[in-house]
Structure 1
Amino acid sequence: MNAATTHPHLPTGAAARAYDDLPSQPVAFLGLGVMGYPMAGHLARAGHQVTVYNRTASKAEAWVAQEGQERGCAAATPREAAQGARIVFACVGNDEDLRSVVLGEQGAFAGMAPGAVFVDHTTASAEVARELHAEARRLGLHFIDAPVSGGQAGAVNGALTVMCGGDAEPFEQIRPVTLAMAKAVTRVGESGAGQLAKMVNQICIAGLVQGLAEAIAFGDKAGLDMKQVLDVIGKGAAQSWQMDNRGKTMVDGKFDFGFAVDWMRKDLGLVLDEARRNGARLPVTAVVDQFYADVQAAGGGRLDTSSLIQRLK
């Protein structure tokens, strides 16, 4: 039966398309935060048997109650979640959170069968990706670093962009399954390359948001109707995703949604650490990172990244 028909509230696009095309297989998902919760849901609705794990067990139980026991179950540890899974997905907070669900006696690697693939959607360092890739190979497993872009809305709508680093063969194994929750899944290089590509993404976003904030603040001071101006320039060379999706909410001073400043600062910290290692010069990124620190200091750590404009008003 067509799952997109039986679940009329599911989004259209890549996620809905995947429901018809993918063979069912046992998978696991570790980490049910604002991103992981809907991502795991897309896998379940695509027909896969999903075992979930979350550090706060009540979140995993709520996920099972929502999706139904015929689609998934909860496990008490990452190791238990990974047992029998051909692919183990994860989306947690940072490098140490990732190590905590992967390594050790109760980590996912301890429960995975030889040849199984671990797919990490956490935005983490390239260093930890290479470390876990090497450990996976030692154990006869595979590891793909696969950070995402698209934010909470992309996770909910199954429209994420996934940039992957790792070996080609396991990437081809996980790509069709991952498309259940994404509009694009691309291998950009060897282990760590996915995380480096995500850093490039965040560098671009930081500069765009600051430029958009300055433009709106300038237009306000000049007495322009900035919503009208954004409509006009959004049809020209200044157009961007940030302008289309955040410009008018910035004009209205609405920031209680989207990708939080705290998360962006974590990501930019990874970027700046990597730049110190590879010698890249990132003067604008470093300045914008400090501007976000100002927003945090003013109590705006959980606001959307577009709240950068508050510094200018």
Structure 2
Amino acid sequence: MSNNTTTTSSSVDSPIDNASIKVSFLGLGVMGYPMAGHLAKSGFDVTVYNRTKAKSDKWVKEFQGALALSPAEAAKDADIVLMCVGNDNDVKDVASQALGTMGPGTLLIDHTTASAEVAREMFSLCQKQSIDFLDAPVSGGQAGAENGLLTVMVGGEQQAFDRAEAVFSAYARHSQLLGESGSGQLAKMMNQICIAGIVQGLAEALHFGQKAGLDCKAVIDVISKGAAQSWQMENRASTMLENHYDYGFAVDWMRKDLSIALDEARRNGSTLALTALVDQYYGDVQKMGGHRWDTSSLLMRLK
């Protein structure tokens, strides 16, 4: 395979071209629901499947398309099958059903944040059936999915990535092939490692400022213009100060992602001391009842 990186633009193919591509989307959670919607709005022939049929019914009512009652039914006759499910076990379960009806030359794309190990396993299974596979976790959260502004980190082969570009362009502002199978998941681990440290630093800074009696909103307005600036500061500092923690990516999901990263670190011999510590802090938040609070809720354990 080629190790050259490739990026997509924000444009999409014409609806006429996209309409000839049969796409199935498996998993209509907070990310999958809007992602599948962008595919429909971009003109693709979309079939959806979700474990809870009511969610599929709602999606079809909103975006048209077709509804399937199983992954196997959804994948039958599809050119490209996309998944966005919960964890490694979900990936294996849903993929095993979909692969039962996918034909040679089709493409399976997994947008789940899962382990690099399961990505490599899926790649091997697909190869045996002459099916292409990409592990393609995303970053940007619920807002990024709803606004079509996700970033897609991709592992797999160049020719499979090239086929997926039009699909990614429907809901992402940037996608990049980063290496062989599993590379997308490894990149997502790096993404979550970075976020964990940044959010903890922001929480401590706000805690410090409040204890010092400062106008933290005014301070954030100043320091966000300098080297301390981050996405988390721009988008979460004000809501943290208001004790609002219902903005998307939940603590439970973050702990799942950090667990994957820590497991991989034990395998490859890397040291993730800060990540391990922040993971424990998120455990404290869970004990406070914050399982579904968003990840910026680290400030709560300092109060």
TM-score, normalization by structure 2: 0.95
Equivalent residue for 1:125? 115
Quote the Cα distance in structure 1 between the aligned partners of 2:272 and 2:94: 32
Deviates more, 1:224-233 or 1:59-68: 59-68
Do residues 78 (structure 1) and 78 (structure 2) align?
Answer: no
CA contact (8 A) 1:148 1:162 kept: yes
1:64 alignment counterpart: 60
- DSSP 3-state at the match of 1:124: coil
> How do 1:1-313 residues align onto structure 2 when only pairs under 5 Å count?
17-18=11-12, 20=14, 23-24=18-19, 25-68=21-64, 72-103=65-96, 107-313=97-303
Alpha-carbon separation, structure 1, partners of 2:32 and 2:167: 15
Contact 2:18 2:45 in 1 (8 A): no
SS of the aligned residue for 2:100 comes to: helix
CA contact (8 A) 1:19 1:45 kept: no
State how far apart, in whole Å, the 1-side matches of 2:189 and 2:291 are: 20
CA distance in 2, matches of 1:286, 1:79: 39
Once residues 58 and 225 of structure 2 are traced to their aligned partners in structure 1, the CA distance between those partners, rounded to angstroms, is: 43
Q: Which residue identity is paired with 1:118? A: L
Could you tell me how far apart the structure 1 residues matched to 2:294 and 2:141 are? 11
Cα distance, 1:20 vs. partner?
4.5
Write the letter of the residue equivalent to 2:18: P
Distance in 2 between residues matched to 1:187 and 1:113, nearest whole Å: 24
Letter in structure 1 aligned against 2:289? G
**Structure 1 residue 18, shift from structure 2 partner:** 2.2
Take 2:280 and 2:155, find their aligned partners in 1: how far apart are those partners? 29
The Cα RMSD (Å) is: 1.1
User: SS in structure 2 opposite 1:301?
Assistant: coil
Deviation at 1:27, TM superposition (A): 0.3
TM-score for the superposition, normalised by structure 1: 0.92
Structure 2 regions of 5+ residues with no counterpart? 1-8
Q: Is the 8 A contact 2:13 2:166 kept in 1?
A: no
Structure 1: gaps spanning 5 or more residues: 1-13
Paired residue type of 1:88: V
CA deviation string 1:90-112 (max 9, x = no partner): 10000001111111xxx111111
Query: Which whole-Å CA distance do the structure 2 matches of 1:177 and 1:53 have between them?
Result: 18
Q: Deviations over 1:237-272 (max 9, x none)?
A: 000000000011111111012210000000000000
Deviation track 1:172-211 (CA, whole Å, cap 9, x = no partner) reads: 1001221101000110010000000000000000000000
Q: For residues 277-306 of structure 1, what are the alpha-carbon distances to aligned partners after superposition, in whole Å with 9 as ceiling and x for unaligned?
A: 000000000000000000001100100100
Identical-pair percentage: 59
